A and B are shown apart, each in its own frame.
Chain A
Amino acid sequence: MALLTTITGRLSQAFLLLLVMSLIGFIGIHSVGNPVYNVVNIETATPEDIRRATELLGLDQPLWRQYVVFVQNLATGSFGTSYIYHLPAFDLVLSKLPATLELAVGAIVIATIAGTGLGLLAVTRPGTLIDRIVVTATVFALSVPSFWLSMMLILAGAVMTGWFPPGGRGSTVEVLGGDWSFLTADGLKHLVLPTLALAIPNVALIARLARAGTVEVKKTDFVRFCIAKGLSGRRILFRHALPNISLPIITIVGLQFGGMLAFAVVVETIFAWPGVGKLLIDSIQLLDRPVVMATLTFISIAFVALNALVDLLYAVLDPRVRISA
């Protein structure tokens, strides 16, 4: 009963979110400019060509009618055809998804493991050199802009040493209808630098979170009680402190992962990595409304799903949430 209420609530929230997002996206793109000038060849087109193109795209209709048509098409499962690429818009988004997914998953896995590890490493040696290095380095990693970090990685990892290629996806393999880089040796090499560029700020974020969380947990009575009852420091750290600090970490991981799916634009651009974020920015510049709407919808759904997943993990980890949810 409670579960059903929760799910119904979630779905209606998601629906509302999609509605609001689509309205804002629609009006936003409309106010940026007229896409028809990107569709026709501006140098050779006659006014008649432009009029015909405008009619063909339905841009002569009032905005509310265009939106109604958009929603009607959506009901049949179609976001329309890209003005530029002349492909179904959602297929276009899906074709970019493997590139984004392998990048984001790799980065978030590295960030979670390395971040938690570094945080715990620092917190078990308070005041030592390691602790201070972690604290200082994480501030640095969080402060540098993403483009600078990416360029430094290219400089160090590609230009100076030649270990890794400076950009592109390398060779890919087609599995489940998508092209994946991480399944080939060459592709993996191409993945390393952009993954690091995305991971490093998140390693820092999670390390700080893990360190601060453990400092707090260590002050609690139950940790003191664990010491008093004779448990080893290692067991207290991994069996008691870690589960207790994992709740805020999971929240951050969920949010950051969603962000990487959608907004890793800077890294994707610098490393010429054809992902979803790059597609979104390109489409906005070209006023390719079907693709923008399809991308935004995908991102919204991804965020809603990730949040639901985080809540589910919360319930798995924290018995107190299970009761109230």
Chain B
Amino acid sequence: MTIENSEIPPLDVRNLTLQHHGASGTTTIVRDVSFVLGRGEVLGIIGESGAGKSTIGNAVIGLLGAGFEQSSGTVRVNGTAIETLTASKRHALRGRTIASIFQDHTSSLDPLMTVGAQLSETISTIFPDLPGTGVRQRALELLQRVGIPDPNGRYHSYPHQLSGGQRQRVVIAIALAGSPSIIVADEPTSALDATVQKQILRVLRGLVEETGLSLLLITHDMSVIAEIADSVLVMKDGEVIEHNATAALLDNPQNAYTRSLLSAVPRLRLSHEAPAIGQGGPDEEAAQCDEASEADGPVLVVENLSKTFGNHGLQALFGIGSATFALRNVSLQLRRGGVLGIVGESGSGKSTIGRILAGLETGSADKVVMNGRVCDVGSRGRSGGLLGRIQMVFQDPASSLNPRLTVAETLMECVRFTARTEHDRHPSRVTETVERLGLSKVLLTRYPHQLSGGQKQRVCIARALLAGPEIMIADEPTSALDVSVQAEILALLKQAVSERNLSMIFISHDLAVVQDICDAVCVMKDGRIEDYGASDFIFGRSDNPYTRHLINARPKIFTL
């Protein structure tokens, strides 16, 4: 597990420079990168989007896309420079010597083929002499190895029938099929919940330790690095900024960029002395918290909100079949000017709450009152008094902006449809709002694809604010962004809440972010509220086992 190995390292990259020849000329994506990946070692490559880290991974697998070129440097796999190999010899390396794991477990597998068949075809391609029963046996062994429960049953499942974590386990099993010496994993856990991420990383770490394979781990997430990597390569704009052993890099980053990257990671404060407000259960405490801070009552009251899936038509009529509850008796309150965090893993129903309140989905509730007005959650759309009063900011800014409209057109459209007074309709409001959010006026004439991720999310926030909302629902607004941008967007949201007398529901899977911005927190699990209370209580003193479980899923290094 040390770099000082006398044998030939599985992967040796020297002075690698990669260029892209596009319509707008040649750009250097990766410049003069060198590293050695030893046997049984995990090397992490970390950087923000556009740093060129994925391109390195693609170069190692030999899957550089059209227009990319390795303009200098060598990539040696077990001592052989792969640039010198013929296409067929390079192909022979894939799956056998170098395997890979991609980020998106939903699209890494063929949707029309059972996972068993996809695993078996890989095995029989690599071991053509193995008889059918042998292939199947090995497939089952691999599924077992990566921790799939009931491999025999799961063998015949289609990808969509598995959970995200299980799909990624299958992808790992396929990568292992040819007993490779190197695995290139590009963001292997980014699409997964924190607890599942931890399990998958544990599987990978176990494989490295038991089989001695080498793992090249590409990620944007410092906590993944902290969890599993032996050494780290920090990249920025295609260059290596810092290369060090993980512990040393985390303790004592040498480079300013590394330091900013590290400090941008939101940290969870645990050793926090929570101010003692009330001694009752979490719900009473939340209520007390509301009363204490504001006299004129909550801006939003939700009582017993429920939603069922998969039970409609004749079945519902006759009461046959079992309904699946997406939400079950969810009751919560949002304090005026407060920020309520809703946390939970995927499938916990946290996004469904936001979507129902915004009128994007229907549900049923005993009572939903927004600022004194009763709101019918049984119907989509919001009538007169509520229209525009509740606004959403979504996770993926790229897909929540119309690509054919300029920024100004998008914002003006919102102004036209939600303006209540003549003053609201004035175009200067757009410019003011945009500049308040730190966007230059110049960007108003641009189209979404000409903006960065952070700029796009600012436009989405501007759009929400221009409608003059009383309640803003932000559904994972920073999850698709780089950590440095994430901090800026959070600051903007905080500022908007305090300046505009807004109240916000902030939906996130990231506890640290929630702690940073929210004053009350609601922990969701399987459509129910598991834990609910003031932020200090939840993170400081809650003894709910599920809350503790979520908190413990975070790497220790990023808790304070």
Contact = CB atoms under 8 A, between A and B. Distances in A.
Which residue among A229, A243, A318, A320 has the maximum number of chain B CB atoms within 10 Å of its CB? A229
Interface stretch (A47-55, A116-124, A161-169, A219-227): A219-227
Interface stretch (A98-106, A232-240, A282-290, A299-307): A232-240
Contacts of A1: 314-315, 320-321
Contacts of A145: none
A229 B177 contact: yes
A interface: dominant SS? helix
B102 interface: yes
Given A5-B314, A230-B94, A222 B175 contact: no
A318 B159 CA distance: 11
B177 A226 contact: no
Interface stretch (B121-129, B237-245, B354-362): B121-129
Contacts of A317: 112
Nearest to A320: B160
B58 to A, nearest CB: 9
Nearest to B112: A243
Contacts of B527: none
A319 interface: yes
Contact of A230 (B91, B110, B111): B91
Interface hub of A1, A5, A232, A235 (most chain B Cβ within 10 A)? A1
A231 interface: yes
A243 B126 CA distance: 23
Contacts of B108: 221-222, 225
B99 interface: yes
Given A225-B108, A229-B177, 6 more contacts: A228-B99, A244-B112, A319-B111, A319-B112, A320-B160, A323-B160
Contacts of A231: 95, 121-122, 125
Given A240-B113, A244-B112, A318-B111, A229 B313 contact: no
6 contacts: A1-B315, A221-B102, A221-B104, A225-B108, A239-B121, A240-B110
Interface in A295-323: 317-320, 323
Contact of A220 (B96, B99, B107, B125): B107
Nearest to B104: A221
Contact of A320 (B96, B99, B158): B158
A235 B121 contact: yes
A230 B313 contact: no
Nearest to A319: B158
Interface residues of B, number: 35
B92 to A, nearest CB: 8
A220 B159 CA distance: 15
A240 to B, nearest CB: 5
A227 B63 contact: yes
Interface string B479-505: 000000000000000000000000000
A228 B121 CA distance: 13
A228 to B, nearest CB: 4
A229 B102 contact: no
B61 interface: yes
B397 interface: no
Nearest to A226: B110
A231 B126 CA distance: 8
Contacts of A229: 94-95, 99-100, 122, 125, 174-175, 177-178
Interface in A183-241: 220-222, 224-232, 235, 239-240
Contacts of B178: 229-230
Per CB-CB distance, the 9 closest pairs between chain A and chain B, nearest first, are: A230-B95, A221-B107, A319-B158, A228-B100, A230-B94, A229-B95, A225-B108, A243-B112, A229-B122
Interface centre among A225, A239, A244, A317 (most CB of B within 10 A): A225
Interface string B84-100: 00000001101110011
Interface string A18-48: 0000000000000000000000000000000
Contacts of B110: 222, 226, 240, 243-244
A319 B158 CA distance: 7
B109 interface: yes
Contacts of B175: 229
Contacts of A319: 111-112, 158, 160-161
B158 A228 contact: no
Interface in B99-144: 99-100, 102, 104, 107-113, 121-122, 125-126
B146 interface: no
Interface in B148-185: 158, 160-161, 171, 174-175, 177-178
B541 to A, nearest CB: 43
A224 B315 CA distance: 42
Interface in B254-290: none
Nearest to A9: B313
A323 B91 CA distance: 37
B344 to A, nearest CB: 25
B21 to A, nearest CB: 15
A230 B112 contact: no
Given A1-B315, A221-B102, A225-B171, A230 B107 contact: no
B121 to A, nearest CB: 7
A225 B125 CA distance: 14
Contacts of A235: 121, 125
Contacts of A5: 313-314
A206 B21 CA distance: 33
A226 B112 CA distance: 14
B109 A222 contact: yes
A228 B94 contact: yes
Contacts of A226: 110
Contacts of A228: 61, 63, 94-95, 99-100, 102
A229 B91 CA distance: 9
Contacts of A318: 111-112
A317 B94 CA distance: 29
A319 to B, nearest CB: 4
- Which of the listed residues A1, A226, A243, A318 has the most CB atoms from chain B within 10 Å of its own CB? A226
B399 to A, nearest CB: 17
Nearest to A317: B112
Interface string A120-156: 0000000000000000000000000000000000000
Contacts of B100: 225, 228-229
A5 B311 CA distance: 13
Nearest to B98: A228
B102 A225 contact: yes
A1 B316 CA distance: 12
Interface in B231-249: none
A215 B515 CA distance: 45
Given A220-B107, A240-B113, A227 B171 contact: no
A240 B110 CA distance: 7
Interface string A233-257: 0010001100110000000000000
